[in-house]
Amino acid sequence: MQSNDLAQLPLRQRIKARAERLFGAWGVFFKGFLKHPVMVGSIVPSSDRTIRKMLAPVPWKDVQLFVEYGPGVGTFCRPVLDKLPRNATYIAIDTNPDFIRYLRKTIPDSRFIAVHGSAADVEDIIASHGFAHADFVLSGLPLSTLPGTVADDIAQATHRALRPGGAFLIYQFNTFTTQLLRPYFERIDRGYELLNVLPCHLFWGWKAQGDSAAEHGNR
């Protein structure tokens, strides 16, 4: 966007565009927060400590499909790709087209697929890319603030989409997630990371190994 084009935009859009231009990923993230504050949840991406702790339980050598809801500007994307096997796939789903465009532009990895869509449609999304189930699903969506039954719809769809023994990994700023996961997941592990803005609660909801709702294997 040229300077003369920028001058023609309303003040709010000029602020967003200048933030994106000046601060790169931070600008895109800030723009996304201004545009959809309920969906982004935080104005600051997760800390390195949060990322390491959240991903620690994942047995990477066994992962064929890793899914993320609300990837934003890719705070988790690069650490996940660093650990993901060469023949695995990583699908990132976001309702914000600005984030999806940014991810497609900045992550040139053949294993990575950025999808503009809803987490509630995860089953259809992974099926459209040739998978029956995901091994792990990560979410930073602010589940407690989502409207209506959306959070519960996401929890149910995620449980169905996961293979037996897989897990739903969630980081949040409150403990709402426990009651959301309890009806669907056999075991819920919890953690906490103080060195994050804001300090956040970590959850790992594990799907039962013998769950008959899905069969092991992705393809």
pLDDT digits (tens, 9 = 90+) for 164-212: 999 999 999 889 999 999 999 999 999 999 878 678 899 999 999 987 5
> Residues 82-111: pLDDT tens digits?
999 999 999 999 998 988 998 998 999 999
Q: What is the pLDDT of residue 22?
A: 45
Q: Residues of the chain with pLDDT > 70: what percent?
A: 75
Position 26 scores a pLDDT of 52
Tell me the pLDDT band of 29, cut-offs 50, 70 and 90.
Answer: low
**pTM for the complete prediction?**
0.79
pLDDT for the residue 18: 54
CA–CA distance from 141 to each of 37, 155, 209 (Å)? 11, 12, 26
Q: Is the pLDDT of residue 58 over 60?
A: yes
3-state secondary structure of 163: strand
According to the per-residue pLDDT averaged within each range, which of 24-33, 46-55, 83-92 is highest?
Answer: 83-92
Q: Give residues with Cβ within 8 angstroms of 179, minimum separation 6.
A: none
30 vs 217: which has the higher pLDDT? 30
The whole-number average pLDDT for the span 134-150 is 94
Q: Strand 134-139's sheet: what is its strand order?
A: 112-116, 89-94, 65-69, 134-139, 162-172, 200-206, 187-193
Percent of the chain with pLDDT over 90: 60
Average pLDDT over residues 25-45: 52
For the chain, strand residue ranges (E) read 65-69, 89-94, 112-116, 134-139, 162-172, 187-193, 200-206
> Mean pLDDT over residues 140-148, rounded?
90
